[in-house]
Amino acid sequence: MNLVNKAEKTFALTTPLYYVNDVPHIGSAYTTMAADAVARFQKLLGRDVLLITGTDEHGQKIQRSAESLGKAPQEFCDEIVPSFMSLWRLLNIQYDRFSRTTAVRHKAIVDEFFARVWEAGDIYQGQQKGWYCVSCEEFKEERELLEGNRCPIHVNKEVEWRDEQNYFFRLSKYQTQLEEFYQSHPDFIQPESRRNEVLNFVSQGLQDFSISRVNLDWGFPVPNDPKHTLYVWFDALLAYVTALLDPEDEPTLENALGKWWPINLHLIGKDILRFHAVYWPAMLLSAGLPLPDRVFGHGFLTKDGQKMGKSLGNTVDPVGLVQQYGSDAVRYYFLKEIEFGKDGDFNEVRFIHVLNADLANDLGNLLNRTLNMVKKYCANYALSITNEDIPAENTLKALGVDLGAKVKQAYEVLAFNQACGVVLSLVQASNKFIDDQAPWSLYKQERQQEVETVLYTVLESVRLAAYLLSPVIPNISSNIYQQLGFGINFNEQTDITPFAIHAQWGLLSNKQQLGQPQPIFKRIEQTKNV
Ligand SMILES: Nc1ncnc2c1ncn2[C@@H]1O[C@H](COP(=O)(O)OP(=O)(O)OP(=O)(O)O)[C@@H](O)[C@H]1O
Ligand SMILES: [Zn+2]
C-alpha cells in the first residue's frame, strides 16, 4: 500500500496536543503563536498549509484532575476544551484542525496503527518497575529525580512507584536505525542543543518502553487485551495523524496520510522532546511509515526561573494580557523578545517597554508623521514618484533590497526574534533618515522632488516592514497596508500578497490612494502597580 503522496506545495505543522488538566496559559499560547506565525509565513510563500493543534485528553493525569472536581473525565474534558479554542480565537490563531484524542474516529486510527506495530513483532508483555511522574505521564530514571523523589519538570510533584504487567514497545530494536536517521537528517531535531541532547540520550542505549497501563480506565483499551489501557502518549502522538483526515473521510491510515504526510514540522516545548524525537520516529519506523521532516523544541517561559506550568500553577493568564493589550502585542512580545529555543522570563515592565518602543514609537509614529507630511507637502495627498526615481544608493533602498531574503531565511529556521529584529532595523533607519533629511526644510526650500523622494522612501520601507511582520502582527500589518492604500487584510487574503512581489522593496506606486493617518498602536501608560 502506497500511503503517502505528498505534494511539494503543501506544508503541515503541529503544536503539541495540550493536556486538558487545566485551562491554557501563556506557555501553551507561546507554542501556538509561533506555529501560527510559521503557518502564515508559509502561506505567503504560496504553500498550502495545514496547522494542527488540539488536546490530549486521556490518561491518569486527566482522570485525576476530573476526579478532584468530582466529574466524569469526558465531562471534564468537554468543559476545558472550549477554553483552548477561545484562547486561539483571541490570539488570532488560524488553525485548520483541532484534534481531540477522545474523538471517536481517532480510535480507528490508533487500532490500525497498533495492528501494524503488533504485526511487526514490536509489542510484547513484560513487568514494568519504576518511578512514574503522573504530570509528565512518563517513567523517570532514579538519577533524574530531585530531592524528595520529585520530578525535575514538576518540582512540586512526587513521582510514584509502579510495579505492574504492561505491554512494551520494542524501542531498543530501533537504536541503530534511529542513529542512522539522525546522521542522515541533521535538521530533523532543532535547535542544535536539543539535537545534541537527543543524540546523547540515544547513545546511552534505548530501553523498551511500556505502552499500556493496568488499573486505569481512562483511555483506549489495548486492541487485543482490553484489560489494559493504552498508554496516553501512544495514542496522543497518533492524533497528529487523525487530524489529517478530512471531515468526511473514513478514518483509515490510507485516507489520513494521503495528502499531508509526512508532517513538515512538529513544534513543541523541550519537555516533550524525547517523545517526538525518539519514541515517535521509532513507532513510525515500526509501522513502516515515513518520518516527519523536523521537530523543533523551544525553551520554557519561566517565572522566577521556574517553568511556568499548569501543574505548578505559576502561570501568566494570556486572556488578561490580550484583553488589555491586544493579540498583536502579545504575539510580538513573545516572538520578538525571546530567542526561540532559549528560555525566557516574562516581565510586564519589559513587555510594556518593548511594545511602546517598537510598535508605538518606531513603527507607529513613523507611519503617522510621514503620512501627515504627505498630506501637508504633496498635492492631492499623493506621491508623484515611484521606485524607478530612487537611486540604488539611497540608504533605505539599499537596506530594503535584500531584507526580504534575510527575513525569509530567519523565518525558515524559526528565528522569529531575528526576523523581527532586522525588520525593526529598517524601521529605525527610516526614522533616522527622515530626521537627517528633514523634508520640512526641503519643502521650505521648494525642493519638491527631494521632499517626495524622502517620503516615498520612508513609506515604502514601512510597507515592506508591515509585510514582513505580518506573520507576527497581522492586524497591525493590515492596518498599515490599508493606510498605504492597499485594500488588503492579512487575516484573509494571503494568496494575493505573494512573497516574490511584496517582499521586494519598491512596490509602492504613484497611483496609491493613501488612507487617513490613524495610530496603529496606542502607547501603553505604565501603571503604578507594574
Ligand atoms: N512554561 C512554558 N514555556 C513554554 N512552553 C510551554 C510552557 N508550558 C507549556 N508549554 C507548551 O505546552 C507543552 C506542554 O503542554 P502541557 O499540556 O503538558 O502543558 P503544561 O502547562 O506544561 O502542563 P503541566 O504543568 O501540567 O505539565 C509544551 O511542550 C510547550 O509546547
Ligand atoms: Zn513531571
Q: Which three cell numbers stand for residue 13?
A: 505543522
User: From the CA of 157, which ligand is nearest?
Assistant: 2
Which ligand lies nearest the alpha carbon of 15?
1
Give pLDDT tens digits along the chain (530 positions): 566 667 779 999 999 999 999 999 999 999 999 999 999 999 999 999 999 999 999 999 999 999 999 999 999 999 999 999 999 999 999 999 999 999 999 999 999 999 999 999 999 999 999 999 999 999 998 999 999 999 999 999 999 999 999 999 999 999 999 999 999 999 999 999 999 999 999 999 999 999 999 989 999 999 999 999 999 999 999 999 999 999 999 999 999 999 999 999 999 999 999 999 999 999 999 999 999 999 999 999 998 778 888 778 888 899 999 999 999 999 999 999 999 999 998 888 999 999 999 999 999 999 999 999 999 999 999 999 999 999 999 999 999 999 999 999 999 999 999 999 999 999 999 999 999 999 999 999 999 999 999 999 999 999 999 999 999 999 999 999 999 999 999 999 767 889 999 999 999 998 889 999 999 999 998 774 54
- DSSP 3-state of 461: helix
Looking at residue 6, its pLDDT comes to: 72
For the chain, domains (ranges, CATH) are: 6-121+169-297 (3.40.50.620), 325-338+345-501 (1.10.730.10)
**Index of the ligand 1 atom closest to the CA of residue 61:** 26
How many angstroms does the Cα of residue 136 sit away from the middle of ligand 1? 10
378 in a known ligand binding site: no
Centre of ligand 2 from the C-alpha of residue 106, in Å: 26
> Is 136 flagged in the annotation as binding?
yes
Ligand 1 atom with least separation from CA of 269: 29
Q: Is 19 in the pocket of ligand 1 (CB under 6 A)?
A: yes
Pair type for strands 123-133 and 138-140 = antiparallel
Q: How far is the CA of 135 from the centre of ligand 2 (A)?
A: 5
- How many whole angstroms from 364 Cα to the centroid of ligand 1? 34
Helix, strand, or coil (residue 157): coil
Nearest ligand to the CA of 312 is 1
Question: Using CA positions, which residue lies closest to atom 2 of ligand 1?
Answer: 27
Residue 470 grid cell? 505580518
Instruction: Report d(CA 172, CA 170) in Å as an integer.
Output: 5
Q: Is 133 annotated as a binding residue?
A: yes
Cα–Cα distance, 212 to 299 (Å, whole number): 30
pTM: 0.96
ipTM strictly over 0.95? Answer: yes
Which atom of ligand 1 lies nearest, measured to the CA of 153?
27
Question: What is each CA distance from 449 to 95, 281, 283, 484, 513, in whole angstroms?
Answer: 47, 62, 66, 20, 19
Residue 341 beta carbon below 6 angstroms from any ligand 1 atom: no
Helix axes 416-437 and 366-377, enclosed angle (nearest 10): 30
Is the C-beta atom of 308 inside 6 A of ligand 1? yes
How far is ligand 2, taken at its centre, from the CA of residue 138, in Å? 7
Find the 312 Cα to ligand 2 centroid distance in Å: 10
Report residue 173: phi and psi, to 5°. -65, -25
Q: Is 18 in the pocket of ligand 1 (CB under 6 A)?
A: yes
Q: What ligand is nearest to the CA atom of residue 274?
A: 1
By residue count, the chain amounts to 530
Choose one of 17, 18, 84 to mutate for the ligand 1 pocket test, by most ligand atoms within 8 angstroms of C-beta: 18
